[in-house]
Structure 1
């Protein structure tokens, strides 16, 4: 990622330094009042190093959260449970058989295997550690969605505030 970031920075600096005619695409638009409005191609957007550092810091904080600790503990217990692993293996085998019988259009066997899969899933769901594992997955997903929502809402709120303030700004661009 750092190599791409550096290469993109160098390309941007090189682009800024050369002259070009108006008939070429050159990264900005001239508005009706002559303002230069930059346009970005998503492939070329630069991600500031400080933003990436904060994102990694947040990721580390999430990784060391109680929710992730609980998830990792439940995952280890599931991997170490012979009963859970045997049920999962049986379910995978039956799912493969189900696909085969569906391709042969054998509805009687499809129905039978689907019933067995429901029974196996109910047995699996009845194991407390499986329920804990599923709940810990949901907790982590909620945490991630909450972080994303806070970032999105904060940026949107700040953009709305800035948009409201720009109404009072002069219409001419002057640098």
Structure 2
């Protein structure tokens, strides 16, 4: 009989989430985000992009292809300026670091569950077969 319920696991997941929120990666992300919001140049460029994006949608809607292309080019140019600002680079890197941490945790859980299933069914970890797969393979030879 199973020892744990979905609720037990959710409680543990919340503990894990609190631990993740208290890592260097997340601390760095919070600092980088605060710097982004406090940076006037970043704010100005973001406002320009938002305005141009609205303009681009309208131009596309009314079939103004040339003007739409020019507006898209302006947006790309401002995005390049944004990406060249060190705090923006740090912010993007910190987003990647947090995402990588989350991916690592998700993979670790997933891999461990798979291993536990294989082991608990008398399977083979090296071949990745569960006990049921091994039994069925052996049966088909007779």
TM-score calculated relative to the size of structure 2? 0.81
Q: Which runs of 5+ in 1 are unaligned?
A: 1-45, 168-175
Correspondence list, 1:15-54, <5 A: 47-49=6-8, 51-54=9-12
Show the counterpart of 1:155: 113
Q: Which residue of 2 aligns with 1:104?
A: 62
Counterparts of 1:154 and 1:53, CA distance in 2? 18
Which structure 2 residues correspond to residues 60-79 of structure 1 after superposition, within 5 A?
60-79=18-37
1:164 and 2:99 aligned: no
In 2: Cα distance, 1:55 partner to 1:80 partner: 33
Query: How high is the TM-score relative to the length of structure 1?
Result: 0.66
Bigger CA radius of gyration? 1
Match of 1:92 in 2: 50
SS of the counterpart of 2:6? coil
1:136 and 2:94 correspond: yes
1:48 is paired with a residue whose SS is: helix
CA–CA distance in 2 between the matches of 1:92 and 1:123?
Answer: 15
- Between the aligned partners of 1:124 and 1:90, the Cα distance in structure 2 is 11
The Cα of 1:56 is off from its aligned counterpart by 1.2
Match of 1:114 in 2: 72
State the superposition RMSD in angstroms.
1.8
**2:119 and 2:22 mapped to 1: Cα distance?**
34
**Larger RCO (CA under 8 A, 6+ residues apart):** 1
CA distance in 2, matches of 1:118, 1:53: 44
Q: Runs of 4 or more off by more than 6 Å in structure 1?
A: none
- Residue 161 of structure 1 deviates from its aligned partner by 1.3
Q: Give the structure 2 partner of residue 57 of structure 1.
A: 15
